[in-house]
């Protein structure tokens, strides 16, 4: 179908679906959950209280708090008011709150905040008394403070745990830095680990991390960190560099930073004899890992060759992941295998690397390769994810729907309905406190009896969310089950009539539409992203205006984008247009929907570049978000196709291959936003 004919069919379908011009169409707005009650004045006070908390308006919170006495969400109001002045609240006042709301998410949330404050104040006695009561225990900084107190009390060797937590922290927090400083001062944490933390700060463009790390070794060196970060090339050219103390560590930092800002210049620097003579093999390998990663993310043909200048055992996990991707693009299966085997055990267990390790074994045809690969595929094969579905097909099994679990009993549903945390969460979401409701919901299903909910309890909680049209909690809760899969909970089809009708009218696979909506919004009609995308299909304002014109939606206004039917019409219309732009390739169209059409057009390669299987192409998408998005949407689509058709499906058939635009395919000059 040519581009113009697609526009005609989309316009006709939109007109039939929406009854002509937008001003005359019927609105279809988000409905509250089935259990919703009329909004009261106290509910309005709750919303005012939340806004006062966001504005840090303590006076207003104090005025509103008495009005919320006895409200089902009073714990949230009390938490907001107390947490806003936690640094001046008395220990007695804090304990009264903790006792009054014992067992709730808000109690644990406030204790988390308090533990962080106690750590910063170095009140180790109170910290040690309160830490065992912290049920979530999901805050790395708090865990680092706990390790610090454990070492103080017992002298236990906690250095490995501290290093793992500290190196994993994305920001320069106080807790893990304090624990790291303690372990470094007693000789348990090695200087190399401190410098590695500084390198990660430079590599990930977080200079505060590097400054904090180097300051553990010598506070007087922090100014040099800032100088190197601002101008690494100038530092490397400085004639005095060779006589400065700890020169090689700072040179490594400078080369790491240069690799990020000017990769080609870093390659040239690494060719200089003075750096090869001065730097250790570990330092050189790390720098080559950064250079290789930056080149791989640019899809440079020489990325793997650059990686090969270093040694795998000295590279960190993200560098190794990108080395595998570069090796996949180069078709070097030996390097795919060896780089995966250099990963930590935990990283190797990710289905991504299990699958590619198995593929490498198969391609290399080493002794017992078939048996080893089969065992690896068997370990992940499942209909639930991208590589899991690919593993099924490698074993010769199509993607089919798993058997549904036994129906939930009345007693199981009653337990879910009567769960205090789930009840509060649903009410919060109903009132518009979605963030608070989601957090309390997740807490309630994760910490039930401190061991997490059983599969049956999770299914009941998910069903409760489904019954109340809280689709994101329905999906995410059902996704947590380990031994059973309720595919209709995990892959629900709200608005089925509307979606199937619109997709079928314009010749678009409805499973593709559902797979995309599930990933975009989890079926939340008024969802809005941080960059301004709105509605079920998360359409950007500019894209909505452009698409509305193309599909003949006259009179479109920006505020209409969260209307269900409008959003579906514009989202499906746009998806069909990008699918046509990329010759029917679902992987390319999916990437275009997420990152815009220009990026995947560049990522697919230029005339003369090789055609690759789409799984390799998808794994090499440079943006983490888009790479994850493409894989999830296509896995979703395959499951939805099985649900809609009732027939076995193939994810490989949807993937196909990806390469440059075919020479006999006309270039469509019109830009798509």
Give the DSSP letter of residue 670. Answer: S
Determine the Cα–Cα distance for residues 554 and 548; give it in Å rounded to an integer. Answer: 7
Determine the Cα–Cα distance for residues 631 and 612; give it in Å rounded to an integer. Answer: 16
- Residue 385: C-alpha distances to residues 165, 474, 618, 637, 643 (Å): 28, 18, 14, 11, 15
Q: Name the packing angle between helices 281-297 and 191-203 (round to 10°).
A: 20
Determine the Cα–Cα distance for residues 330 and 190; give it in Å rounded to an integer. Answer: 37
Determine the Cα–Cα distance for residues 44 and 60; give it in Å rounded to an integer. Answer: 14
Determine the Cα–Cα distance for residues 293 and 285; give it in Å rounded to an integer. Answer: 12
Give the DSSP letter of residue 649. Answer: B
Indicate the SS3 state at residue 126.
Answer: helix
Give yes or no for a contact between 287 and 270, defined as CB atoms under 8 angstroms apart.
yes
Determine the Cα–Cα distance for residues 33 and 302; give it in Å rounded to an integer. Answer: 55
Cα dihedral value 525, 635, 446, 624, nearest 10: -90
Per residue in 291-300, is it b (16+ CB within 10 Å) or e — as a string? bbbbbbbebb
Which residue in 617, 584, 615 sits closest to 599, CA to CA? 617
- Residue 396: C-alpha distances to residues 22, 614, 652 (Å): 49, 19, 12
Phi, psi of 518 (to 5 degrees): -55, -40
Which residue in 31, 43, 29 sits closest to 471, CA to CA? 31
Determine the Cα–Cα distance for residues 487 and 450; give it in Å rounded to an integer. Answer: 27
Instruction: Measure CA 354 to chain center.
Output: 20
Determine the Cα–Cα distance for residues 80 and 49; give it in Å rounded to an integer. Answer: 8
Decide if 283 is catalytic: no
Catalytic residue among 520, 580, 667, 670: 520
Give yes or no for a contact between 228 and 250, defined as CB atoms under 8 angstroms apart.
yes
**Inter-residue long-range contacts of 233-242, CB under 8 Å, 24+ positions, other chains counted:** 233/258, 233/262, 233/265, 236/269, 242/274, 242/278
Determine the Cα–Cα distance for residues 70 and 65; give it in Å rounded to an integer. Answer: 10
- Residue 243: C-alpha distances to residues 240, 251, 549 (Å): 6, 12, 66
Q: Show which residues are catalytic.
A: 520
């Amino acid at each position: 179908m040519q581009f113009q004919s697609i526009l005609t069919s989309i316009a006709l379908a939109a007109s039939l679906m929406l009854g002509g011009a937008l001003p005359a169409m019927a609105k279809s707005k988000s409905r509250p959950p089935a259990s919703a009650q009329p909004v009261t004045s106290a509910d309005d006070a709750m919303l005012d209280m939340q806004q006062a908390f966001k504005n840090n308006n303590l006076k207003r919170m104090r005025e509103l708090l008495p009005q919320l006495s006895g409200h089902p969400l009073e714990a949230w109001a009390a938490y907001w008011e107390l947490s806003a002045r936690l640094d001046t609240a008395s220990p007695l006042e804090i304990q009264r709150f903790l006792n009054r709301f014992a067992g709730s998410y808000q109690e644990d949330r406030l204790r988390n905040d308090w533990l962080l404050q106690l750590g910063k104040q170095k009140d180790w006695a109170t910290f040690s008394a309160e830490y065992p009561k912290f049920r979530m225990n999901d805050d790395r900084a708090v865990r680092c403070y706990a390790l610090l107190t454990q070492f103080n009390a017992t002298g236990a060797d906690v250095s490995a745990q501290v290093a793992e937590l500290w190196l994993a922290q994305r920001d320069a927090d106080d807790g893990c830095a304090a624990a790291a400083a303690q372990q470094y001062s007693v000789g348990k944490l090695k200087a190399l680990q401190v410098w590695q933390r500084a390198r990660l700060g430079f590599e990930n463009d977080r200079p505060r991390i590097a400054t904090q790390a180097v300051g553990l070794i010598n506070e007087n060196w922090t100014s040099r960190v800032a100088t190197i970060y601002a101008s690494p090339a100038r530092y490397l050219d400085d004639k005095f560099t060779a006589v400065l103390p700890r020169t090689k560590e700072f040179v490594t930092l400078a080369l790491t930073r240069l690799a990020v800002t000017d990769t080609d210049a870093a390659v040239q620097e690494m060719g200089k004899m003075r750096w090869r003579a001065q730097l250790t093999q570990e330092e050189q390998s790390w720098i080559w890992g950064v250079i290789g990663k930056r080149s791989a993310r640019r899809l440079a043909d020489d990325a793997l060759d650059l990686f090969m200048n270093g040694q795998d055992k000295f590279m960190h996990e993200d560098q190794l992941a990108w080395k595998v991707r570069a090796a996949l693009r180069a078709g070097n299966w030996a390097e795919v295998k060896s780089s995966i085997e250099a990963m930590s055990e935990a990283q190797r267990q990710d289905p991504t690397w299990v699958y590619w390790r198995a593929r490498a074994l198969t391609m290399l045809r080493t002794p017992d390769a078939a048996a080893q690969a089969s065992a690896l595929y068997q370990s992940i094969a499942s209909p639930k994810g991208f590589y899991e579905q690919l593993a099924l097909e490698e074993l010769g099994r199509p993607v089919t729907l798993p058997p549904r679990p036994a129906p939930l009993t009345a007693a199981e549903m009653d337990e879910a309905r009567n769960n205090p945390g789930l009840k509060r969460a649903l009410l919060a979401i109903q009132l518009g406190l979605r963030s608070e409701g989601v957090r309390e919901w997740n807490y309630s299903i994760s910490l039930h009896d401190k061991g997490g909910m059983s599969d049956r309890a999770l299914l009941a909680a998910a069903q409760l969310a489904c019954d109340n049209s809280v689709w994101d909690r329905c999906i995410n809760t059902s996704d947590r089950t380990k031994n059973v899969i309720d595919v209709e909970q995990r892959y629900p089809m709200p608005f089925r009539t509307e979606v199937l009708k619109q997709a079928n009218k314009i010749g678009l696979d409805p499973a593709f539409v559902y797979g995309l909506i599930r990933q975009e919004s989890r079926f939340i009609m008024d969802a809005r992203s941080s960059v301004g995308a709105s509605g079920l299909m998360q359409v950007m304002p500019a894209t909505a205006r452009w698409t509305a014109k193309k599909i003949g939606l006259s009179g479109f206004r920006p505020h209409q984008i969260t209307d269900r039917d409008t959003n579906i019409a514009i989202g499906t219309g746009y998806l069909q247009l990008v699918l046509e732009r990329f010759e029917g390739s679902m992987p390319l169209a999916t990437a275009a929907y997420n990152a815009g059409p220009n990026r995947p057009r560049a990522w697919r390669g230029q005339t003369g570049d090789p055609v690759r299987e789409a799984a390799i192409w998808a794994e090499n998408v440079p943006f983490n978000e888009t790479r994850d998005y493409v894989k999830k949407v296509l896995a979703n689509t395959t499951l939805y196709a099985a649900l809609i058709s009732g027939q076995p499906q193939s994810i490989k058939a949807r993937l196909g291959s990806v390469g440059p635009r075919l020479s006999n395919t006309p270039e469509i000059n019109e830009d798509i936003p």
